[in-house]
Structure 1
Amino acid sequence: MIESAGNSLDIAQNLCAPVFQGQSFLVSADIDEAAEDYAENVHHLRSSNRPSGHSDVVQSRREIIQNAGALLYAIPQVVKCSRPWSEDLILNTHRMLHAGLDDQVEPGVCRTHEVAVKYEKPGQNRKKAHLCMRASAVLEYMKDMVEHLDQDTADTDDIRDPYALAARYHHQFVNIHPFGDGNGRISQIILNALPLKHASPPCVSVFDLTEEDRDTYSAIATRPSQVFYAEDTEVLFDEHTGHLELTEFIRDISVAVDGR
Protein backbone atom coordinates (compact mmCIF):
# COMPACT_ATOMS: atom_id res chain seq x y z
CA MET A 1 0.00 0.00 0.00
CA ILE A 2 2.99 2.31 0.51
CA GLU A 3 5.34 3.16 -2.33
CA SER A 4 8.92 2.49 -1.29
CA ALA A 5 10.27 5.60 -3.09
CA GLY A 6 13.33 3.71 -4.28
CA ASN A 7 14.07 2.19 -0.88
CA SER A 8 13.72 -1.34 0.44
CA LEU A 9 10.53 -2.75 1.91
CA ASP A 10 12.24 -2.96 5.32
CA ILE A 11 13.14 0.73 5.26
CA ALA A 12 9.60 1.66 4.23
CA GLN A 13 8.09 -0.50 6.97
CA ASN A 14 10.38 0.95 9.64
CA LEU A 15 9.47 4.50 8.64
CA CYS A 16 5.74 3.80 8.36
CA ALA A 17 5.20 1.77 11.53
CA PRO A 18 5.29 4.72 13.97
CA VAL A 19 2.93 6.70 11.72
CA PHE A 20 0.37 3.88 11.65
CA GLN A 21 0.72 3.48 15.41
CA GLY A 22 -0.14 7.14 15.98
CA GLN A 23 3.43 7.98 16.94
CA SER A 24 4.60 9.96 13.92
CA PHE A 25 6.60 12.19 16.26
CA LEU A 26 9.00 9.26 16.71
CA VAL A 27 10.02 9.09 13.05
CA SER A 28 12.11 11.56 11.08
CA ALA A 29 13.14 11.78 7.45
CA ASP A 30 16.45 13.31 8.51
CA ILE A 31 19.31 10.86 8.75
CA ASP A 32 23.01 11.26 9.46
CA GLU A 33 25.42 9.86 6.90
CA ALA A 34 27.04 7.87 9.70
CA ALA A 35 23.74 6.21 10.64
CA GLU A 36 23.47 2.45 10.30
CA ASP A 37 20.65 2.64 7.71
CA TYR A 38 22.19 5.37 5.57
CA ALA A 39 24.31 3.09 3.37
CA GLU A 40 21.30 0.86 2.75
CA ASN A 41 19.24 3.90 1.73
CA VAL A 42 21.94 4.94 -0.74
CA HIS A 43 22.30 1.41 -2.13
CA HIS A 44 18.60 1.03 -2.88
CA LEU A 45 18.31 4.47 -4.46
CA ARG A 46 21.22 3.69 -6.77
CA SER A 47 19.71 0.30 -7.60
CA SER A 48 16.52 2.12 -8.60
CA ASN A 49 18.49 4.53 -10.82
CA ARG A 50 17.59 7.44 -8.56
CA PRO A 51 19.85 10.25 -7.32
CA SER A 52 21.50 9.13 -4.09
CA GLY A 53 23.03 12.18 -2.43
CA HIS A 54 22.22 13.02 1.18
CA SER A 55 19.34 15.34 0.24
CA ASP A 56 17.95 12.62 -2.05
CA VAL A 57 18.01 10.08 0.78
CA VAL A 58 16.14 12.49 3.05
CA GLN A 59 13.66 13.25 0.27
CA SER A 60 12.91 9.57 -0.35
CA ARG A 61 12.37 8.98 3.37
CA ARG A 62 10.06 11.98 3.55
CA GLU A 63 8.05 10.62 0.61
CA ILE A 64 7.50 7.35 2.45
CA ILE A 65 6.50 9.03 5.72
CA GLN A 66 4.09 11.42 4.03
CA ASN A 67 2.65 8.60 1.93
CA ALA A 68 1.85 6.80 5.19
CA GLY A 69 0.29 9.95 6.62
CA ALA A 70 -1.86 10.49 3.53
CA LEU A 71 -2.98 6.87 3.63
CA LEU A 72 -3.80 7.17 7.33
CA TYR A 73 -5.89 10.24 6.54
CA ALA A 74 -7.84 8.91 3.55
CA ILE A 75 -8.50 5.25 4.40
CA PRO A 76 -10.41 5.80 7.68
CA GLN A 77 -12.57 8.45 6.05
CA VAL A 78 -13.99 6.13 3.40
CA VAL A 79 -13.56 2.74 5.11
CA LYS A 80 -14.42 3.33 8.76
CA CYS A 81 -16.46 6.53 8.61
CA SER A 82 -18.15 5.68 5.28
CA ARG A 83 -17.82 9.25 4.10
CA PRO A 84 -18.58 9.85 0.43
CA TRP A 85 -15.76 10.34 -2.03
CA SER A 86 -15.24 13.98 -2.89
CA GLU A 87 -12.80 16.23 -4.68
CA ASP A 88 -11.89 17.78 -1.32
CA LEU A 89 -10.94 14.37 0.07
CA ILE A 90 -8.62 13.69 -2.87
CA LEU A 91 -7.14 17.20 -2.81
CA ASN A 92 -6.52 17.04 0.95
CA THR A 93 -4.92 13.61 0.58
CA HIS A 94 -2.56 14.98 -2.06
CA ARG A 95 -1.81 17.98 0.15
CA MET A 96 -0.67 15.67 2.96
CA LEU A 97 1.20 13.45 0.53
CA HIS A 98 3.17 16.14 -1.26
CA ALA A 99 3.63 19.05 1.16
CA GLY A 100 7.20 20.33 0.97
CA LEU A 101 8.42 17.72 -1.50
CA ASP A 102 8.66 19.72 -4.71
CA ASP A 103 8.61 23.49 -5.23
CA GLN A 104 7.28 22.93 -8.75
CA VAL A 105 4.14 21.11 -7.56
CA GLU A 106 1.55 22.85 -5.40
CA PRO A 107 0.14 20.30 -2.93
CA GLY A 108 -3.60 19.74 -3.15
CA VAL A 109 -4.03 21.74 -6.36
CA CYS A 110 -4.77 20.30 -9.79
CA ARG A 111 -2.16 21.02 -12.40
CA THR A 112 -2.48 23.89 -14.87
CA HIS A 113 0.40 22.78 -17.08
CA GLU A 114 0.96 19.92 -19.49
CA VAL A 115 2.90 16.87 -18.30
CA ALA A 116 4.25 13.66 -19.75
CA VAL A 117 4.92 10.44 -17.88
CA LYS A 118 7.98 8.31 -18.56
CA TYR A 119 7.81 4.58 -18.01
CA GLU A 120 9.70 1.41 -18.85
CA LYS A 121 8.17 -1.64 -20.43
CA PRO A 122 9.16 -4.96 -18.82
CA GLY A 123 12.43 -6.20 -20.29
CA GLN A 124 13.33 -2.84 -21.80
CA ASN A 125 15.82 -0.34 -20.40
CA ARG A 126 14.71 2.65 -22.44
CA LYS A 127 11.94 4.79 -20.99
CA LYS A 128 9.03 5.87 -23.14
CA ALA A 129 7.10 9.11 -22.72
CA HIS A 130 3.33 9.31 -22.58
CA LEU A 131 1.63 12.71 -22.87
CA CYS A 132 -1.09 13.08 -20.24
CA MET A 133 -4.53 14.63 -20.53
CA ARG A 134 -4.45 18.32 -21.37
CA ALA A 135 -4.49 20.52 -18.28
CA SER A 136 -7.56 22.49 -19.36
CA ALA A 137 -9.68 19.32 -19.15
CA VAL A 138 -8.48 18.06 -15.77
CA LEU A 139 -10.98 19.84 -13.49
CA GLU A 140 -14.00 18.70 -15.50
CA TYR A 141 -12.79 15.11 -15.66
CA MET A 142 -11.97 15.07 -11.95
CA LYS A 143 -15.47 16.29 -11.12
CA ASP A 144 -17.06 13.64 -13.34
CA MET A 145 -14.86 10.87 -11.95
CA VAL A 146 -15.67 11.71 -8.33
CA GLU A 147 -19.40 11.90 -9.10
CA HIS A 148 -19.30 8.45 -10.71
CA LEU A 149 -17.22 7.05 -7.85
CA ASP A 150 -19.59 8.43 -5.24
CA GLN A 151 -22.59 6.99 -7.10
CA ASP A 152 -20.94 3.59 -7.57
CA THR A 153 -20.13 3.28 -3.85
CA ALA A 154 -23.35 4.75 -2.43
CA ASP A 155 -25.01 1.34 -2.06
CA THR A 156 -22.64 -1.40 -0.92
CA ASP A 157 -25.15 -4.10 -1.84
CA ASP A 158 -24.90 -3.09 -5.51
CA ILE A 159 -21.13 -3.64 -5.69
CA ARG A 160 -20.68 -7.03 -7.32
CA ASP A 161 -16.93 -6.88 -7.94
CA PRO A 162 -14.87 -4.58 -5.67
CA TYR A 163 -11.70 -5.41 -7.63
CA ALA A 164 -13.25 -4.20 -10.88
CA LEU A 165 -14.45 -1.11 -9.03
CA ALA A 166 -10.94 -0.39 -7.73
CA ALA A 167 -9.35 -1.01 -11.13
CA ARG A 168 -11.90 1.20 -12.90
CA TYR A 169 -11.17 4.22 -10.74
CA HIS A 170 -7.44 3.62 -10.64
CA HIS A 171 -7.59 3.59 -14.46
CA GLN A 172 -9.63 6.79 -14.51
CA PHE A 173 -7.38 8.63 -12.07
CA VAL A 174 -4.11 7.60 -13.71
CA ASN A 175 -5.32 8.79 -17.10
CA ILE A 176 -6.74 12.07 -15.81
CA HIS A 177 -3.40 12.60 -14.03
CA PRO A 178 -4.69 15.63 -12.14
CA PHE A 179 -1.52 16.58 -10.24
CA GLY A 180 1.97 17.58 -11.28
CA ASP A 181 3.33 14.67 -9.21
CA GLY A 182 2.06 12.08 -6.76
CA ASN A 183 -0.65 10.67 -9.04
CA GLY A 184 0.61 7.10 -8.74
CA ARG A 185 0.57 7.23 -4.95
CA ILE A 186 -2.95 8.70 -4.84
CA SER A 187 -4.20 6.13 -7.35
CA GLN A 188 -2.82 3.35 -5.16
CA ILE A 189 -4.68 4.76 -2.16
CA ILE A 190 -7.90 4.61 -4.21
CA LEU A 191 -6.95 1.13 -5.41
CA ASN A 192 -6.67 -0.13 -1.83
CA ALA A 193 -9.46 1.86 -0.18
CA LEU A 194 -12.18 0.31 -2.32
CA PRO A 195 -11.44 -3.41 -1.65
CA LEU A 196 -10.81 -2.56 2.01
CA LYS A 197 -14.30 -1.11 2.20
CA HIS A 198 -16.25 -3.33 -0.15
CA ALA A 199 -14.51 -6.73 -0.48
CA SER A 200 -15.40 -9.60 1.81
CA PRO A 201 -13.09 -10.21 3.54
CA PRO A 202 -11.44 -6.77 3.30
CA CYS A 203 -8.34 -6.88 1.08
CA VAL A 204 -5.33 -4.82 0.11
CA SER A 205 -3.13 -5.12 -2.96
CA VAL A 206 0.52 -6.02 -2.46
CA PHE A 207 2.50 -5.36 -5.64
CA ASP A 208 5.61 -3.46 -4.57
CA LEU A 209 7.58 -6.44 -3.33
CA THR A 210 9.64 -7.35 -6.40
CA GLU A 211 10.95 -5.59 -9.49
CA GLU A 212 8.89 -7.97 -11.61
CA ASP A 213 5.70 -6.99 -9.75
CA ARG A 214 6.44 -3.31 -10.24
CA ASP A 215 7.19 -3.78 -13.94
CA THR A 216 4.01 -5.78 -14.47
CA TYR A 217 1.90 -3.23 -12.62
CA SER A 218 3.48 -0.34 -14.55
CA ALA A 219 2.82 -2.02 -17.89
CA ILE A 220 -0.78 -2.91 -17.04
CA ALA A 221 -1.47 0.57 -15.67
CA THR A 222 -0.09 2.40 -18.72
CA ARG A 223 -1.15 0.11 -21.58
CA PRO A 224 -4.85 1.06 -21.52
CA SER A 225 -4.26 4.80 -22.00
CA GLN A 226 -5.20 4.64 -25.67
CA VAL A 227 -8.33 2.68 -24.73
CA PHE A 228 -9.25 5.40 -22.22
CA TYR A 229 -9.21 8.11 -24.88
CA ALA A 230 -10.85 5.92 -27.52
CA GLU A 231 -13.76 5.06 -25.22
CA ASP A 232 -14.03 8.48 -23.60
CA THR A 233 -16.71 10.00 -25.84
CA GLU A 234 -17.84 6.88 -27.69
CA VAL A 235 -18.70 4.41 -24.91
CA LEU A 236 -20.93 4.80 -21.86
CA PHE A 237 -18.91 5.14 -18.64
CA ASP A 238 -20.20 1.87 -17.19
CA GLU A 239 -19.18 0.02 -20.35
CA HIS A 240 -15.53 1.14 -20.41
CA THR A 241 -13.06 -1.74 -20.72
CA GLY A 242 -9.65 -0.16 -20.12
CA HIS A 243 -9.53 -1.41 -16.52
CA LEU A 244 -10.27 -5.09 -17.16
CA GLU A 245 -6.68 -6.37 -17.30
CA LEU A 246 -5.84 -4.46 -14.12
CA THR A 247 -8.89 -6.00 -12.43
CA GLU A 248 -7.46 -9.51 -12.73
CA PHE A 249 -4.00 -8.37 -11.67
CA ILE A 250 -5.44 -6.79 -8.51
CA ARG A 251 -7.51 -9.88 -7.79
CA ASP A 252 -4.41 -12.06 -8.03
CA ILE A 253 -2.22 -9.97 -5.72
CA SER A 254 -4.80 -9.00 -3.10
CA VAL A 255 -4.48 -10.36 0.42
CA ALA A 256 -7.10 -10.40 3.15
CA VAL A 257 -6.63 -8.26 6.25
CA ASP A 258 -8.12 -8.64 9.71
CA GLY A 259 -10.93 -6.29 10.61
CA ARG A 260 -11.90 -3.02 9.01
Structure 2
Amino acid sequence: MATLANELSKAFKTGLTPRQEAAFVNHILHSLAWMVYGSNKIEKAGSSADITLKLCLAIFCGKEIPEEIEEQDPEYMSLKESLISQNLPADTSAVLRSRREVVQHAKPVVFMIDQLCIRGQDLSEQIILDAHRILTYKVDAETTPWKEYSGVYRDHEVSAGLHAFPHPSLVPYKMKSMFHELKCDLKEATNGTIDPIALASKYTHIFVNIHPFIDGNGRMSRLNLNSTLLKFGAFLACIGVDEDDRSIYMEIAINGGALEYLYEDSEEDEKPKLYKELASYVLGHVKKSLTELVSAVAQ
Protein backbone atom coordinates (compact mmCIF):
# COMPACT_ATOMS: atom_id res chain seq x y z
CA MET A 1 0.00 0.00 0.00
CA ALA A 2 2.75 2.46 0.97
CA THR A 3 4.62 1.77 -2.28
CA LEU A 4 1.49 2.35 -4.36
CA ALA A 5 0.69 5.56 -2.49
CA ASN A 6 4.25 6.79 -3.00
CA GLU A 7 4.06 6.07 -6.72
CA LEU A 8 0.85 8.06 -6.99
CA SER A 9 2.25 10.89 -4.87
CA LYS A 10 5.36 11.02 -7.03
CA ALA A 11 3.27 11.29 -10.19
CA PHE A 12 1.34 14.23 -8.75
CA LYS A 13 4.49 15.99 -7.57
CA THR A 14 6.09 15.81 -11.01
CA GLY A 15 2.82 16.96 -12.56
CA LEU A 16 0.29 15.02 -14.59
CA THR A 17 0.12 15.45 -18.34
CA PRO A 18 -3.32 16.28 -19.78
CA ARG A 19 -3.64 12.63 -20.83
CA GLN A 20 -2.71 11.39 -17.34
CA GLU A 21 -5.12 13.83 -15.72
CA ALA A 22 -7.93 12.63 -18.00
CA ALA A 23 -7.05 9.01 -17.18
CA PHE A 24 -7.09 9.82 -13.46
CA VAL A 25 -10.52 11.48 -13.57
CA ASN A 26 -11.92 8.73 -15.80
CA HIS A 27 -10.70 6.03 -13.42
CA ILE A 28 -12.16 7.76 -10.36
CA LEU A 29 -15.55 8.19 -12.02
CA HIS A 30 -15.68 4.59 -13.22
CA SER A 31 -14.58 3.30 -9.80
CA LEU A 32 -17.42 5.21 -8.15
CA ALA A 33 -19.86 3.74 -10.68
CA TRP A 34 -18.58 0.21 -10.02
CA MET A 35 -18.95 0.91 -6.32
CA VAL A 36 -22.65 1.68 -6.86
CA TYR A 37 -23.11 -1.38 -9.06
CA GLY A 38 -21.53 -3.76 -6.55
CA SER A 39 -23.35 -2.27 -3.58
CA ASN A 40 -26.68 -2.59 -5.37
CA LYS A 41 -25.95 -6.16 -6.45
CA ILE A 42 -25.35 -7.17 -2.82
CA GLU A 43 -28.93 -6.04 -2.12
CA LYS A 44 -30.30 -7.57 -5.35
CA ALA A 45 -31.16 -4.06 -6.48
CA GLY A 46 -30.40 -1.79 -9.41
CA SER A 47 -29.70 -2.85 -12.97
CA SER A 48 -26.99 -4.24 -15.24
CA ALA A 49 -23.38 -3.04 -15.20
CA ASP A 50 -23.77 -1.21 -18.52
CA ILE A 51 -26.90 0.67 -17.46
CA THR A 52 -25.48 1.42 -14.01
CA LEU A 53 -22.25 2.84 -15.42
CA LYS A 54 -24.11 4.95 -17.99
CA LEU A 55 -26.48 6.48 -15.43
CA CYS A 56 -23.81 6.95 -12.75
CA LEU A 57 -21.30 8.62 -15.06
CA ALA A 58 -23.98 11.04 -16.26
CA ILE A 59 -24.85 11.97 -12.66
CA PHE A 60 -21.21 12.21 -11.55
CA CYS A 61 -20.49 14.54 -14.48
CA GLY A 62 -23.32 16.82 -13.40
CA LYS A 63 -25.74 16.00 -16.21
CA GLU A 64 -29.45 16.36 -15.60
CA ILE A 65 -31.33 13.12 -16.19
CA PRO A 66 -35.12 12.78 -16.20
CA GLU A 67 -36.69 11.43 -13.04
CA GLU A 68 -39.08 9.28 -15.05
CA ILE A 69 -38.85 7.64 -18.49
CA GLU A 70 -41.55 6.43 -20.85
CA GLU A 71 -42.04 2.87 -22.08
CA GLN A 72 -41.02 3.86 -25.61
CA ASP A 73 -37.67 5.15 -24.37
CA PRO A 74 -34.74 2.92 -25.51
CA GLU A 75 -33.42 3.04 -21.93
CA TYR A 76 -36.70 1.54 -20.70
CA MET A 77 -36.29 -1.43 -23.03
CA SER A 78 -32.68 -1.97 -21.89
CA LEU A 79 -33.81 -1.95 -18.26
CA LYS A 80 -36.64 -4.37 -19.04
CA GLU A 81 -34.31 -6.75 -20.91
CA SER A 82 -31.88 -6.69 -17.99
CA LEU A 83 -34.63 -7.77 -15.58
CA ILE A 84 -35.89 -10.47 -17.94
CA SER A 85 -32.36 -11.88 -18.35
CA GLN A 86 -32.23 -12.33 -14.55
CA ASN A 87 -35.68 -13.96 -14.45
CA LEU A 88 -36.99 -11.04 -12.40
CA PRO A 89 -40.37 -9.28 -12.68
CA ALA A 90 -40.25 -6.84 -15.59
CA ASP A 91 -43.52 -4.93 -15.38
CA THR A 92 -43.49 -1.13 -15.55
CA SER A 93 -43.12 -0.58 -11.81
CA ALA A 94 -40.19 -3.06 -11.64
CA VAL A 95 -38.43 -1.41 -14.58
CA LEU A 96 -38.76 2.09 -13.16
CA ARG A 97 -37.73 0.92 -9.69
CA SER A 98 -34.55 -0.73 -11.01
CA ARG A 99 -33.59 2.54 -12.68
CA ARG A 100 -34.42 4.59 -9.60
CA GLU A 101 -32.30 2.29 -7.42
CA VAL A 102 -29.31 3.21 -9.56
CA VAL A 103 -30.04 6.93 -9.82
CA GLN A 104 -30.83 7.37 -6.12
CA HIS A 105 -27.69 5.46 -5.17
CA ALA A 106 -25.46 7.61 -7.36
CA LYS A 107 -26.86 10.86 -5.96
CA PRO A 108 -25.86 10.29 -2.30
CA VAL A 109 -22.38 9.33 -3.54
CA VAL A 110 -22.09 12.86 -4.92
CA PHE A 111 -23.63 14.31 -1.77
CA MET A 112 -21.37 12.48 0.68
CA ILE A 113 -18.16 13.12 -1.24
CA ASP A 114 -19.11 16.79 -1.44
CA GLN A 115 -19.80 16.98 2.30
CA LEU A 116 -16.82 14.97 3.56
CA CYS A 117 -14.11 15.40 0.94
CA ILE A 118 -14.80 18.79 -0.66
CA ARG A 119 -16.41 20.74 2.18
CA GLY A 120 -14.27 18.97 4.79
CA GLN A 121 -17.15 18.01 7.08
CA ASP A 122 -16.87 15.04 9.41
CA LEU A 123 -19.37 12.22 9.03
CA SER A 124 -22.36 13.21 11.15
CA GLU A 125 -25.84 12.10 12.06
CA GLN A 126 -27.36 14.78 9.84
CA ILE A 127 -25.24 13.81 6.83
CA ILE A 128 -26.30 10.18 7.21
CA LEU A 129 -29.99 11.09 7.56
CA ASP A 130 -29.80 13.38 4.51
CA ALA A 131 -27.93 10.77 2.45
CA HIS A 132 -30.46 8.09 3.39
CA ARG A 133 -33.27 10.43 2.37
CA ILE A 134 -31.66 10.79 -1.07
CA LEU A 135 -30.92 7.05 -1.37
CA THR A 136 -34.51 6.00 -0.64
CA TYR A 137 -36.37 8.76 -2.49
CA LYS A 138 -39.43 7.12 -4.09
CA VAL A 139 -38.06 3.64 -3.32
CA ASP A 140 -40.60 1.79 -1.16
CA ALA A 141 -39.38 -0.79 1.34
CA GLU A 142 -40.93 -4.24 1.29
CA THR A 143 -43.73 -3.32 3.71
CA THR A 144 -43.30 0.44 4.13
CA PRO A 145 -43.88 3.34 1.70
CA TRP A 146 -40.76 5.44 1.18
CA LYS A 147 -42.27 8.57 2.73
CA GLU A 148 -42.63 6.76 6.06
CA TYR A 149 -39.03 5.56 6.42
CA SER A 150 -36.86 7.77 4.21
CA GLY A 151 -34.33 9.69 6.33
CA VAL A 152 -35.78 8.58 9.69
CA TYR A 153 -34.72 5.89 12.14
CA ARG A 154 -36.76 2.71 12.22
CA ASP A 155 -39.65 2.30 14.65
CA HIS A 156 -39.84 -1.48 14.74
CA GLU A 157 -37.54 -4.44 15.32
CA VAL A 158 -35.53 -5.98 12.49
CA SER A 159 -33.31 -9.03 12.27
CA ALA A 160 -31.06 -10.91 9.86
CA GLY A 161 -31.55 -14.63 10.25
CA LEU A 162 -31.30 -15.38 13.97
CA HIS A 163 -29.48 -12.13 14.70
CA ALA A 164 -31.77 -9.39 16.07
CA PHE A 165 -30.55 -5.83 15.75
CA PRO A 166 -30.98 -3.35 18.63
CA HIS A 167 -34.53 -2.48 19.69
CA PRO A 168 -35.75 0.65 17.87
CA SER A 169 -35.97 2.56 21.16
CA LEU A 170 -32.16 2.17 21.45
CA VAL A 171 -31.31 3.31 17.91
CA PRO A 172 -31.13 7.10 18.52
CA TYR A 173 -28.93 6.55 21.60
CA LYS A 174 -26.65 4.09 19.81
CA MET A 175 -26.25 6.42 16.82
CA LYS A 176 -25.35 9.35 19.07
CA SER A 177 -22.92 7.10 20.95
CA MET A 178 -21.36 6.04 17.65
CA PHE A 179 -20.78 9.64 16.61
CA HIS A 180 -19.36 10.53 20.01
CA GLU A 181 -16.83 7.69 19.65
CA LEU A 182 -16.14 8.71 16.04
CA LYS A 183 -15.43 12.28 17.16
CA CYS A 184 -12.81 10.97 19.60
CA ASP A 185 -11.24 8.74 16.97
CA LEU A 186 -11.16 11.56 14.42
CA LYS A 187 -9.03 13.64 16.75
CA GLU A 188 -6.46 10.87 16.62
CA ALA A 189 -6.94 10.30 12.87
CA THR A 190 -6.05 13.89 12.05
CA ASN A 191 -2.79 13.36 13.93
CA GLY A 192 -2.03 10.41 11.68
CA THR A 193 -2.32 7.79 14.39
CA ILE A 194 -5.29 5.88 12.94
CA ASP A 195 -5.27 3.89 9.72
CA PRO A 196 -8.12 5.21 7.50
CA ILE A 197 -8.99 1.64 6.53
CA ALA A 198 -9.33 0.63 10.18
CA LEU A 199 -11.32 3.79 10.92
CA ALA A 200 -13.70 3.33 7.98
CA SER A 201 -14.14 -0.39 8.68
CA LYS A 202 -14.81 0.15 12.37
CA TYR A 203 -17.70 2.56 11.78
CA THR A 204 -19.07 0.55 8.89
CA HIS A 205 -19.24 -2.43 11.27
CA ILE A 206 -20.84 -0.42 14.07
CA PHE A 207 -23.36 1.25 11.76
CA VAL A 208 -24.56 -1.91 10.06
CA ASN A 209 -24.95 -3.66 13.42
CA ILE A 210 -27.12 -0.82 14.72
CA HIS A 211 -29.15 -1.15 11.50
CA PRO A 212 -30.82 2.22 12.11
CA PHE A 213 -33.17 2.23 9.11
CA ILE A 214 -36.00 0.03 7.89
CA ASP A 215 -34.21 -0.36 4.54
CA GLY A 216 -30.99 0.85 2.92
CA ASN A 217 -28.66 -0.01 5.80
CA GLY A 218 -26.22 -2.05 3.71
CA ARG A 219 -25.92 0.55 0.97
CA MET A 220 -25.58 3.34 3.53
CA SER A 221 -22.86 1.42 5.36
CA ARG A 222 -20.84 1.12 2.15
CA LEU A 223 -21.40 4.80 1.35
CA ASN A 224 -20.06 5.61 4.82
CA LEU A 225 -17.12 3.28 4.23
CA ASN A 226 -16.04 4.73 0.90
CA SER A 227 -16.60 8.39 1.69
CA THR A 228 -14.49 7.94 4.85
CA LEU A 229 -11.76 6.12 2.90
CA LEU A 230 -11.62 8.95 0.38
CA LYS A 231 -11.66 11.64 3.05
CA PHE A 232 -8.64 10.21 4.85
CA GLY A 233 -6.50 9.51 1.83
CA ALA A 234 -7.17 5.86 1.01
CA PHE A 235 -8.89 4.82 -2.19
CA LEU A 236 -12.21 3.14 -2.93
CA ALA A 237 -13.31 -0.37 -2.02
CA CYS A 238 -15.56 -1.52 -4.87
CA ILE A 239 -17.33 -4.30 -3.00
CA GLY A 240 -19.68 -6.89 -4.51
CA VAL A 241 -18.92 -6.43 -8.20
CA ASP A 242 -18.86 -10.20 -8.81
CA GLU A 243 -20.82 -13.03 -7.23
CA ASP A 244 -17.89 -14.65 -5.40
CA ASP A 245 -16.99 -11.35 -3.79
CA ARG A 246 -20.58 -10.82 -2.69
CA SER A 247 -20.56 -14.21 -0.99
CA ILE A 248 -17.33 -13.42 0.88
CA TYR A 249 -18.64 -10.02 1.93
CA MET A 250 -21.91 -11.44 3.24
CA GLU A 251 -20.04 -14.10 5.21
CA ILE A 252 -17.89 -11.39 6.81
CA ALA A 253 -21.02 -9.37 7.64
CA ILE A 254 -22.63 -12.42 9.26
CA ASN A 255 -19.46 -13.13 11.24
CA GLY A 256 -19.40 -9.51 12.40
CA GLY A 257 -23.00 -9.74 13.58
CA ALA A 258 -22.26 -12.95 15.47
CA LEU A 259 -19.31 -11.29 17.23
CA GLU A 260 -21.50 -8.34 18.21
CA TYR A 261 -23.96 -10.75 19.79
CA LEU A 262 -21.18 -12.69 21.53
CA TYR A 263 -19.61 -9.59 23.09
CA GLU A 264 -22.73 -7.45 23.58
CA ASP A 265 -22.51 -7.62 27.40
CA SER A 266 -18.74 -7.09 27.55
CA GLU A 267 -17.07 -3.85 28.57
CA GLU A 268 -15.64 -1.89 25.66
CA ASP A 269 -12.04 -2.36 26.79
CA GLU A 270 -12.62 -6.14 26.96
CA LYS A 271 -13.83 -6.46 23.37
CA PRO A 272 -11.46 -7.47 20.57
CA LYS A 273 -11.56 -5.48 17.31
CA LEU A 274 -14.81 -6.90 15.99
CA TYR A 275 -14.23 -5.24 12.61
CA LYS A 276 -10.80 -6.86 12.06
CA GLU A 277 -11.99 -9.32 9.38
CA LEU A 278 -13.84 -6.55 7.55
CA ALA A 279 -10.78 -4.27 7.68
CA SER A 280 -8.57 -6.98 6.16
CA TYR A 281 -11.13 -7.51 3.40
CA VAL A 282 -11.42 -3.76 2.73
CA LEU A 283 -7.62 -3.46 2.62
CA GLY A 284 -7.48 -6.01 -0.19
CA HIS A 285 -10.07 -4.07 -2.21
CA VAL A 286 -8.39 -0.71 -1.62
CA LYS A 287 -5.03 -2.14 -2.68
CA LYS A 288 -6.58 -3.55 -5.87
CA SER A 289 -8.26 -0.24 -6.70
CA LEU A 290 -5.11 1.74 -5.99
CA THR A 291 -3.03 -0.59 -8.18
CA GLU A 292 -5.47 -0.04 -11.04
CA LEU A 293 -5.37 3.73 -10.48
CA VAL A 294 -1.56 3.85 -10.53
CA SER A 295 -1.57 1.74 -13.69
CA ALA A 296 -4.13 4.00 -15.40
CA VAL A 297 -2.12 7.14 -14.62
CA ALA A 298 1.21 5.55 -15.60
CA GLN A 299 0.11 4.43 -19.07
Q: Same fold (TM over 0.5)?
A: yes
Tell me the equivalent position of 1:207.
239
> Structure 1 residues 153 and 50 mapped into 2: Cα distance closer, same or farther (>3 Å)?
farther
Tell me the equivalent position of 1:134.
167
**One-letter amino acid of the structure 2 residue matched with residue 86 of structure 1:** S
Percentage of matched positions with identical amino acids: 34
- How many residue pairs were aligned? 245
User: What SS does the aligned partner of 2:236 have?
Assistant: strand
**One-letter amino acid of the structure 1 residue matched with residue 211 of structure 2:** H
Deviation at 1:43, TM superposition (A): 4.6
Q: 2:183 aligns with which of 150, 156, 161?
A: 150
> Structure 1 residues 236 and 84 mapped into 2: Cα distance closer, same or farther (>3 Å)?
same
User: What SS does the aligned partner of 2:191 have?
Assistant: helix
Structure 1 gaps of 5+ residues are: 118-127
User: What SS does the aligned partner of 1:232 have?
Assistant: coil
**One-letter amino acid of the structure 1 residue matched with residue 83 of structure 2:** L
Whether contact under 8 Å (1:166, 1:191) holds in the other structure is: yes
TM-score by length of 1: 0.84
**Radius of gyration: which is bigger?**
2
Pair 1:227 & 2:259 matched: yes
Tell me the equivalent position of 1:164.
198
Q: 2:61 aligns with which of 18, 21, 31?
A: 21
Deviation at 1:28, TM superposition (A): 3.2
**One-letter amino acid of the structure 2 residue matched with residue 143 of structure 1:** K
Higher helix content, 1 or 2: 2
User: What SS does the aligned partner of 1:203 have?
Assistant: coil
Q: Which has the higher contact order (CA 8 A, sep 6+)?
A: 2
CA distance in 2, matches of 1:239, 1:131: 20
CA distance in 1, matches of 2:163, 2:85: 24
> Structure 1 residues 150 and 237 mapped into 2: Cα distance closer, same or farther (>3 Å)?
farther
> Structure 1 residues 159 and 43 mapped into 2: Cα distance closer, same or farther (>3 Å)?
farther
Whether contact under 8 Å (1:85, 1:150) holds in the other structure is: no
User: What SS does the aligned partner of 2:166 have?
Assistant: coil
Pair 1:189 & 2:245 matched: no
CA distance in 2, matches of 1:53, 1:129: 33
Structure 1 residue ranges (4+ consecutive) displaced by more than 3 angstroms after TM superposition:
28-40, 42-51, 237-240
Aligned pairs (5 A) from 1:72-151? 72-102=110-140, 103=145, 105-117=148-160, 128=161, 130-151=163-184
Higher strand content, 1 or 2: 1
Deviation at 1:56, TM superposition (A): 1.0
CA distance in 1, matches of 2:69, 2:239: 27
> Structure 1 residues 244 and 98 mapped into 2: Cα distance closer, same or farther (>3 Å)?
same
Deviates more, 1:234-243 or 1:11-20: 234-243
Whether contact under 8 Å (2:46, 2:99) holds in the other structure is: no
